[in-house]
Amino acid sequence: MENGEKVENVVIIGGGPAGLAASIYNARANLNPLVFGGSPYGGQLMLTSDVENYPGYESILGPELVEKWRGHAKKFGVRIIDQNVVKVDFSQKPFKVSTATTTHLARSVIIATGAKALWLGLDSETRLRGKGVSACATCDGFFFKNKTVGVVGGGDTAMEEALTLVKFAKKVYIIHRKNTFRASKIMQDRVLSHPQIEVIWNAAIEEVVGENKVEGVKLKTIDQRPQTVDQRQETTDRRPQTVDHRLETIDKGLESKVYNLDIDGLFIAIGHKPDTGLFTQQVELDAKGYVITLERAYEEAVKKMINNQNPNSKENLKIGNWDLIENWKLGFGNYRSMTSVPGVFAAGDNVDHMYRQAATAVGMGVAAALEVERWLEVSS
């Protein structure tokens, strides 16, 4: 059912750092924001143990930090409903935001649904999250000073995680289920030439070992021999000289074997997935599902102009169905957090595919809230 004719000034979808930060600013601007916090609420921080890199707290548990934000928001009268939004309609105004039981009308919306790290799906991995298993080297690398850690993955994210971890750990293993990386060449070169990093090719994690903390992993070799001599040469040339007898076992085509690797921490770096399935066909998303805000749209347009043989083409100023020239003519150019739908804004990890930090999400949420306030002043 619809809540009568009441139209909210702003509905915020998401109860993590970006959404709660936005709600505090909007509440102080007397906009009486409504937040759908989700169920469970709080985002990725609810799975984080010690947080030591959020300004103002030398050390705080992730869930505790979320509760402090929620308490702060409620102090200013923010209404938080811990339900999931199941449907939105941005095709007409006022916008419609629906849960399983209610539909709410809104003059503006902030999308702050965040993103989820992709995991291996092992019971032992789930049990030891926050106890040595992590998906963020920037967040947790500090806890592994002079220790040995493993990184799972073969893309740029895994390379970046490994290079961050070597600033703290004495040894970093990259565990990759294939015999070549998909990462960019420059990132591969940095990793393969680093003396503290060793690559374990053609191996998958069967189990994370440890009761109360990570003590190691159980690996299973995967036979993925190159099909030709040329491919074999290219592959082996990319491998660091430190890789030991494990490769010989794989290359000779012997049966897969399981063995233990002693490590103190395990970082899963197989990617993130923005929680934006709800907004498909509603706002412009990139190929990976991240919401494209106006700020990023103009960045993409500049890249197209630089790379396009016809830099003056108006096609460079189109992102999907989004015409940036018309956007600019209508005066929307200063709303950097705005999506392809005027009045719908986005902030946090569902936009940010680079940093993915609580502090950056908070900043993005504040920016979106300030822009919503301006937007409502001029669009009413």
Using CA atoms, how far residue 170 sits from 152, 244, 259, 266, 293, in Å, is 17, 19, 22, 14, 40
Q: Which of 139, 275, 349, 352 is catalytic?
A: 139
Q: Which of 136, 251, 264, 352 is catalytic?
A: 136
Give burial (CB, 10 Å; 0-12/13-18/19+) of 380: exposed
Q: In this structure, are residues 47 and 351 in contact, taking their beta carbons and an 8 Å threshold?
A: no
Give residue 377's identity as a one-letter amino acid code: E
Q: Which of 50, 82, 140, 244 is catalytic?
A: 140
Q: Is 89 a catalytic residue?
A: no
Residues forming a β-bridge with 110: 12, 345
Q: Is 140 a catalytic residue?
A: yes
Using CA atoms, how far residue 311 sits from 92, 297, 301, 333, in Å, is 35, 16, 10, 21
Q: Is 139 a catalytic residue?
A: yes
DSSP string of 354-366, one letter each residue: S---HHHHHHHHH
Query: 3-state DSSP call for residue 79?
Result: strand
Q: In this structure, are residues 366 and 25 in contact, taking their beta carbons and an 8 Å threshold?
A: yes
Give catalytic residues, as residue numbers. Answer: 136, 139-140
